[in-house]
Structure 1
């Protein structure tokens, strides 16, 4: 039995075999088999998503150097410049004139049809479409006609064109809209390979009616990225606390209550930061998305008379910038998932204030399950108590985190081997 198969059996789920490649749709030219498409919400300022893309591209470039890579993404010009690969927009630009009028009259159906034909034309050039990590199968902040339809559209186009589909270490759920849930689960059913980054994602898909018996679990792809070494804390200096803030406006940010949610979140974060500063800690405000700048500004404005001499904040433009800043901290309190991931990769104990179960599930694996709250209802007093306990035991937790992150990396290497032997085997 191979090492790869042993790992997947130990997880209780053997690898999902590729669907039979017969018939005219599966008969592809050798040039097409050398092309790999990578799909996701990349280039739009979400640094965690772009970190997952970087991890996958590094792997593909190393192991499939002859393959032509192209990315189907949200903001193609950014991805093209940052990663040096060909790009294709997830959807065509908004239609104008008579075309826009027809979309309004016929409930957007003409535009959707045009975009589907566009997807067929591009995906037929690829032997495989890889969806690397990210919470691709949830509807956070989106309507059914947004990402849910885009995921379904590209997977259906790939299926019709005989292009293999691999969902790799993805996050799934929650999906509040029934239509969004149907679109996303239908897309997942078309895949030749599926793996999830946590048990919650797999259980969500199973409850949504997807057969997960052959699906596996592997850690988030960002755990393969290199991280800067942290300097050991000098005994004489105060601890530096990284506080990750987010432009959080509820699960559906477009709802009317979004501003009230944001203001309540900012007020509580500012109260916590004020307590840290008053207790003599240094504080570094962290972000994980370029759209988080308003949250930083709002928290700083809400500090009022607090002594901010020990408060710092710097803009970030990549997940590596986040790694660099977190390397200068001793503990982290964060909302965004990839702020939590970055802290763990740097061996930093972390408290999660999350809007979904993914943070809590990850921290539970790291022995930090007692240091989580939901962002909608977190209590500042409890947060201060959690922080005090974690600060006292931070060295013990740090050693445990470093050990478990090392195991995550080895697990991801085994997933790489499996992918190379299955869905990516025809891409050279």
Structure 2
């Protein structure tokens, strides 16, 4: 089976690279020698890391390569992740929403089937974005990672393809033992590590000061060692440094490097007592590892994940953070870690089975009998 994968790949985002690794690994486990081509902004790097064929994803180069790949393909997988949204600037033909939907249109014109795969939908608020979303009806089958996304699609008028709620394909991530992150820190071995995942969110910065307050109290009362995990390179490193600027005990924190793989970050988070953070896939890695977590939700996708992992009651909307309350929640989690870890593990197993179902549904709908 020849498959083209289109998503936010080759741009250095750990969460999206974890999605790609999960898709590729699970396709290879479930299909007989699939022929996989990935549209990537860094085609050579993606080809090397995943042993796949690649084509440059942007419109500036190799459009003939895109057309050839789609003409040869049995299926275009669009996803996973939050591709269909206009939170970032969307112009007539530029921005995430028109890009991914134009790839879908091109695939259909080239005779390929299309599956939206393990996607999170929205927000789509502009008039032009809502018009563009009608093109999603071209898809032959859709899986989304939460009920909110399914409802959102239907409210946008996308009702033609069958839509099934599964979970983020990263819950089917195949972990390989790798201690690179831990080795880089040169720890004594008795530290209580707390993973911290910060990211920029437009002009909102109050969360940096609030997170600093929480971490200072955890250092003073529990002797933890906060470790910042930059899952999107310098963007997250800069956001982490903003937190550190507000801390009294920034000298007791550690910053991980930016160049680790998704698997290496996952291995690191699995060694932590808990996670506090914003990045969706840092929270997914925590769930996968049975690590209790407190999320700062900047988007419905984060809230949806926290509800499914069982940790929403201990977390907060980014715009409604009560630092004192979250500190008390963090202290309670550290005092009763195994109780919360068992909740997370149980929910993670449910989502793992749902994640694998993405590939099962692909086989049922597109594998030639």
| TM-score normalised by structure 1 residue count | 0.76
Query: Which of 102, 107, 110 is equivalent to 1:153?
Result: 102
1:4 aligns to what? none
Deviation, structure 1 residue 151: 1.0
Distance (whole Å) between structure 2 residues aligned to residue 223 and residue 150 of structure 1: 26
Deviation, structure 1 residue 65: 4.0
1:75 aligns to what? 42
2:185 aligns to what? none
The answer to whether structure 1 residue 244 and structure 2 residue 197 are counterparts is yes
Count, aligned residues: 355
2:256 aligns to what? 314
Deviation, structure 1 residue 213: 8.0
Deviation, structure 1 residue 51: 0.8
1:326 aligns to what? 269
Contact 1:333 1:350 in 2 (8 A): yes
2:237 aligns to what? 293
1:188 aligns to what? 136
Deviation, structure 1 residue 182: 2.5
Query: Which of 171, 185, 195 is equivalent to 2:120?
Result: 171
The answer to whether structure 1 residue 143 and structure 2 residue 117 are counterparts is no
Q: Deviations over 1:122-171 (max 9, x none)?
A: 42121110123211112233424111111121111111222000111110
Distance (whole Å) between structure 2 residues aligned to residue 333 and residue 230 of structure 1: 22
2:213 aligns to what? 271
Deviation, structure 1 residue 218: 0.8
Deviation, structure 1 residue 414: 3.5
Contact 1:37 1:126 in 2 (8 A): yes
- Greater Cα shift, 135-144 or 347-356: 135-144
Distance (whole Å) between structure 2 residues aligned to residue 272 and residue 196 of structure 1: 34
| TM-score normalised by structure 2 residue count | 0.88
Matched residue SS, 1:169: strand
2:246 aligns to what? 302
Larger Rg: 1
2:75 aligns to what? 128
2:314 aligns to what? 371
2:152 aligns to what? 204
Distance (whole Å) between structure 1 residues aligned to residue 268 and residue 292 of structure 2: 15
Distance (whole Å) between structure 2 residues aligned to residue 318 and residue 188 of structure 1: 32
2:278 aligns to what? 335
Deviation, structure 1 residue 307: 5.8
Matched residue SS, 1:242: strand
Query: Which of 363, 384, 397 is equivalent to 2:327?
Result: 384
Contact 2:27 2:359 in 1 (8 A): no
Q: Deviations over 1:98-143 (max 9, x none)?
A: xxxxxxxxxxxxxxxx96x775454212111012321111223342
Distance (whole Å) between structure 1 residues aligned to residue 298 and residue 68 of structure 2: 37
2:364 aligns to what? 421
1:13 aligns to what? none
Contact 2:213 2:323 in 1 (8 A): yes
Residues 377 and 71 of structure 1: CA distance in aligned 2, closer, same or farther (over 3 Å): same
1:224 aligns to what? 172
Residue ranges of structure 2 left out of the alignment (5+ in a row):
180-188
Residues 166 and 327 of structure 1: CA distance in aligned 2, closer, same or farther (over 3 Å): same
Distance (whole Å) between structure 2 residues aligned to residue 392 and residue 420 of structure 1: 45
1:84 aligns to what? 51
Contact 1:230 1:346 in 2 (8 A): no
Residues 227 and 59 of structure 1: CA distance in aligned 2, closer, same or farther (over 3 Å): closer
Residues 47 and 174 of structure 1: CA distance in aligned 2, closer, same or farther (over 3 Å): same
Distance (whole Å) between structure 2 residues aligned to residue 417 and residue 204 of structure 1: 24
